[in-house]
């Protein structure tokens, strides 16, 4: 489409040119006007030609200069300007990194522990030269450090501009593995040890490690091993229950005094002093005394248990309680 291009010293007159109906075209390095404004542009050039160097010519453009820019065109221009600015910042950062390398090159021959720790002989004729040499090398190191930090800041700004210039993309939601639940035993790849999931967060998991510390980890840093209590789907402890607790390398017996939404408050005795602490479900197991275990084993719950055991003398004897009870596992009645 036929148009008029006005180039030269247009920056001081940019507001007047926009009011005349001009549109700045960076590719053509000037303001583009529709043919209908030819007389107004010619009068404007004649008015300011004595002060500013302006050139007017007829060109052909692939768009209609009389129509305002659309939102997509404005966004495209803005993104193109961001990319140009990002390239400029990267060039400045590369120049600063080159200067920092030049400063470090001067320090490298003296990068020796003995050189920097050797005492300066103040009464010797070489004392002044040694002091000045160390000051120069220290200045080179300081300048190299400052230039590197400035270069990193420029690279970060350029990266941000490029990210803004890219079309917005929505990351797909992360698909969570249903195996990772509260109480699951996982292998933590960061430390090479096992841990227990104590809380499921919106974007991570709170895992208690074997050392006793709890930290937030993502699903990519864990491997599922097993469920600590796969058969339990409800709270298995109640207020007043006697429990065996484990924390770090300690193990003891206490009593549940409160059932919290995510844990239990347990009271126990340490060196004659009663202490309370909060424990997760995975760190507790019901504690059954020997007398309770014996009463549970002797309570008939089926017809098979109603038959006594007859010995060689003909006298009946009760079934002895089972003693092979694994640690921290509740004893269940026979069915």
**Residue finishing a domain among 165, 194, 210:** 165
The whole-number average pLDDT for the span 59-70 is 80
93 and 122 in a single domain? The answer is yes
Higher-confidence residue of 134 and 287: namely 134
pLDDT at 225: 87
Q: Are residues 62 and 49 in the same domain?
A: yes
In this structure, the answer to whether residues 158 and 188 fall within a common structural domain is no
Establish if 175 belongs to a structural domain.
no
My answer on whether 93 and 37 are in the same domain is: no
More reliable by pLDDT, 68 or 4: 4
Rounded to the nearest integer, the mean pLDDT of the chain is 80
| Residue 250 resides in a domain | yes
Owner of token pair 């084993």: 297
Please enumerate in sequence order all residues whose Cβ is within 8 A of that of 306, keeping only pairs 6 or more positions apart, or say none. 300
pLDDT at site 289 = 55
Q: Is residue 63 part of a domain?
A: yes
> Is residue 87 domain-shared with residue 158, that is, in the same domain?
yes
Predicted local confidence at residue 12, as pLDDT:
92
Domain shared by 78 and 137, yes or no? yes
Binning pLDDT at 50, 70 and 90, where does residue 105 land?
Answer: very high
Tell me the average pLDDT across 181-191. Answer: 86
**Higher-confidence residue: 182 or 282?**
182
State residue 314's pLDDT score: 47
Look at residue 88 in the predicted model and tell me its pLDDT. Answer: 95
Round to the nearest angstrom and report the end-to-end CA distance of the chain.
93
- Let me know if residue 155 belongs to a domain: yes
Has residue 325 got a pLDDT over 60?
A: no
The residue ranking higher by pLDDT, 4 or 290, is 4
Residue 55 sits in the same domain as residue 80: no
Of all residues in the chain, the percent with pLDDT exceeding 70 is 81
Same-domain pairing of 248 and 222: no
If you write DSSP's letter for every residue of 59-123 in order, what string do you get?
EE-SS-TTSPPPHHHHHHHHHHHHHHHHHHHHHHHHHHHHHHHHHHHHHGGG--HHHHHSPP-TT
| Domain co-membership, 146 together with 210 | no
DSSP letters for 264-286: EEEEEEETTEEEEEEE-GGGEEE
Kindly state whether residue 54 falls inside one of the protein's structural domains. yes
Residue tagged 């479900």 (tokens): 281
Owning domain of residue 203: 184-227
Domain C-terminal end among 68, 96, 114: 68
DSSP 154: H
Report the SS3 class of residue 16. Answer: helix
Task: Say if CB 331 and CB 296 are below 8 A apart.
Answer: yes
User: What's the pLDDT tens digit per position in 141-154?
Assistant: 999 999 999 999 99
Separation between Cα atoms, residue 154 and residue 158, nearest integer Å? 6
Do residues 252 and 212 share a domain? no
What total of structural domains would you count in the chain?
4
Task: Verify that 51 and 128 share a domain, yes or no.
Answer: no
- Where residue 231 falls among pLDDT bands split at 50, 70, 90? very low
Q: What is the pLDDT of residues 11-47, one digit of tens each?
A: 999 999 999 888 888 878 899 998 888 899 999 999 9
pLDDT number for residue 177: 83
The per-residue pLDDT for 229 is 56
Q: Look at residue 326 and tell me if it is in a domain.
A: no
Q: Give the range among 23-27, 105-109, 220-224 with minimum mean pLDDT.
A: 23-27
Residue 294 has pLDDT above 70, yes or no: no
Percent of the chain at pLDDT above 90? 23
At 201-218, the pLDDT tens digits run: 988 899 988 777 888 998
Q: Is residue 109 part of a domain?
A: yes
pLDDT tens column, 83-98: 999 999 999 999 999 9
Instruction: Choose the most confident range, by mean pLDDT, from 74-78, 82-86, 175-179, 285-289.
Output: 82-86
Q: Give the domain-ending residue among 68, 93, 121.
A: 68
Question: Which is higher by pLDDT, 312 or 88?
Answer: 88
| Rounded average pLDDT over 286-307 | 50
């Amino acid at each position: 489409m036929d148009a008029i291009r006005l180039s030269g010293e247009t920056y001081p007159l940019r507001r007047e040119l926009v009011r005349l109906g001009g549109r700045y075209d960076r590719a053509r390095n000037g303001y583009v006007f529709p043919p209908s404004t030819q007389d107004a542009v010619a009068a404007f050039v004649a008015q300011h030609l004595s002060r500013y160097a302006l050139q007017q010519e007829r060109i052909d453009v692939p768009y209609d200069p009389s129509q305002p820019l659309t939102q997509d065109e404005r966004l495209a221009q803005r993104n193109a300007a961001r990319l140009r600015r990002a390239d400029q910042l990267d060039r400045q950062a590369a120049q600063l990194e080159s200067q920092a390398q030049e400063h470090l090159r001067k320090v490298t021959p003296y990068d020796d522990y003995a050189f920097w720790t050797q005492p300066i002989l103040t009464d010797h004729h070489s004392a002044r030269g040694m002091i000045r040499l160390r000051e120069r090398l220290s200045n080179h190191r300081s300048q190299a450090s400052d230039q590197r930090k400035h270069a990193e800041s420029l690279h970060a700004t350029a990266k941000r501009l490029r990210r803004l210039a890219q079309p917005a993309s929505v990351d797909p939601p992360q698909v969570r593995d249903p195996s990772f639940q509260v109480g699951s035993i996982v292998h933590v790849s960061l430390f090479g040890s096992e841990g227990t999931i104590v809380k499921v967060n919106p974007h991570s998991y709170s895992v208690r490690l074997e050392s006793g510390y709890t930290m937030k980890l993502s699903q990519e840093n864990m491997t599922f091993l097993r469920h600590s209590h796969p058969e339990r789907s409800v709270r298995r402890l109640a207020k007043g229950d006697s429990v065996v607790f484990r924390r770090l390398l300690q193990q003891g017996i206490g009593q549940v005094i409160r059932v919290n939404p995510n844990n239990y408050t347990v009271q126990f005795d340490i060196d004659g002093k009663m202490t309370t602490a909060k424990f997760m479900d995975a760190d507790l197991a019901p504690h059954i005394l020997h007398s309770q275990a014996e009463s549970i084993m002797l309570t008939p719950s089926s017809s098979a248990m109603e038959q006594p055991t007859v010995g060689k003398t003909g006298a009946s004897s009760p079934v002895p309680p089972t003693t092979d009870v694994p640690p921290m596992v509740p004893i269940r009645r026979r069915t």
